[in-house]
Amino acid sequence: MQRHFKAVGISYKNTPLEVRESVAFDEPQTKRFLIQLKEILGVDEALVLSTCNRTEIYYFAAEDLSREISGLVDVFHGISTTAPSAEYFQPFTHQEAVRHLFEVALGLQSMVLGDIQINNQVKKAYQWAADENMAGPFLHRLLHTIFYTNKRVVQETAFHDGTASVASAAASVAEKFMVNYTAPKVAILGMGEIGQNVAENLKGVNAEITLLNRTFSRAEAKAVELGYQARPFDELETVLKDVHVIISAVQTPSPIIHGAHLLANSHPQLLIDLSVPRSIAEDVETVSGVLLYNVDQLQERATEALEKRKSAVTLVSAIVTESIAEFDNWSQEMEVSPTIKKFKQALEDIRKQELARYTDKVDEAQAKLLDKATKNMIQKVIKLPVLQLKAACKRGDADSMVGLLNDLFNLEKQETKDSE
């Protein structure tokens, strides 16, 4: 049987950041693009997954539309023909696309192995597809199978345990420190990649978070995106007097935060220095109530978690393979279900035609008896061919049996009749 599920996409593995940024989709853009896939390319079932590390379009179509879709992405985003992103897009055939989506959703393909955020991002992408009526039977079943598999991975493995990046480790340490306060305040210095990752990891935490960056517009844009505050970098000393947690990820040749900056702060403080060279002087620990973490200490925590996750990859892959096998059984049966339906209808038509010959020759009681008896006969006749067809699906050779049933019962004629 022909397999129609496919995908095309880019990721951090094969595409530079500036290209990934140029083809990223937010929610409104995703929904508009889904509509264009349907109106321009005739795709009725699709999922657009767009994060900072990837943009991937999964779709259900008889033909390979990878070039058309990647070109449509460029047009949608108004990318100049002199610098198209289409050349970076990688196509995936049916089986490749199914496994890839499993691995992406579970964090096997993440920049940080076992990233737990990606599963929620996949759920949002699925919801947006459903909102636009672009999630049909195949995607519904596939996504629910993936979410169930993720629950198994959480329950049966250590794959999502711990914090496996410096940014997530910093956020985790900060969260634990902040539980002691009813209204904690956090300052994040520097909006480079690490600083932004920390800010994203703290989204949803019950705290007042302020972003500072030498280029204020960058801090302001991120603050708007995440619902935080932004302050100019020259207000750093004022901010330091009031916050409970300071996370620094700025590029500087020498420390910019010293113990003297913290003397006016009356409550305990946690300082996390993610900068190399260090941006927080060691003398801050001489101030009462101050706790300092440096990048090496956090890297050690992250490395331990990463090794734990790596050791679980084999088990996770085995669970994925098992889930894919179960899903394949369902999807293959789904492909032959129209044939089964037409086969049942063909036999039902024969049954009714034969019964019609005796309408004037039997009374009502006899007619009911004949109807019941012939229905039972049809059920018994149907049972074995349907079981054989489903077994053929699992072997991957259902085509020949579908052809045989079509020839024996003229099912193509039945399809024409049904469409009239």
Give the residue numbers marked as catalytic.
Answer: 52
Residue 187 DSSP SS3: strand
- Phi, psi (degrees; rounded to nearest 5) at 413: -65, -35
Q: Which of 52, 292, 87 shows the shortest CA–CA distance to 177?
A: 292
DSSP per residue, 294-333: EHHHHHHHHHHHHHHHHHHHHHHHHHHHHHHHHHHHHHHH
Residue 348 DSSP SS3: helix
DSSP label at 270? E
- Phi, psi (degrees; rounded to nearest 5) at 404: -65, -45
Helix axes 295-356, 94-106, angle to 10 degrees: 140
Query: Alpha-carbon dihedral of residues 24, 27, 33, 37, nearest 10 degrees?
Result: 110
Residue with tokens 């089964």: 340
Residues present in the chain in total: 420
d(CA 280, CA 277): 9
DSSP per residue, 1-23: ----EEEEEEETTTS-HHHHHHT
d(CA 151, CA 65): 33
The residue type of 264 is A
Q: Provide Rg for the chain, Cα atoms.
A: 30
Neighbours of 363 (CB within 10 A): 8
Q: Which of 152, 156, 17 shows the shortest CA–CA distance to 88?
A: 17
For the chain, the first-to-last Cα distance in angstroms comes to: 26
- Say if strands 5-11 and 54-60 run parallel, antiparallel, or are unpaired: antiparallel
d(CA 196, CA 144): 31
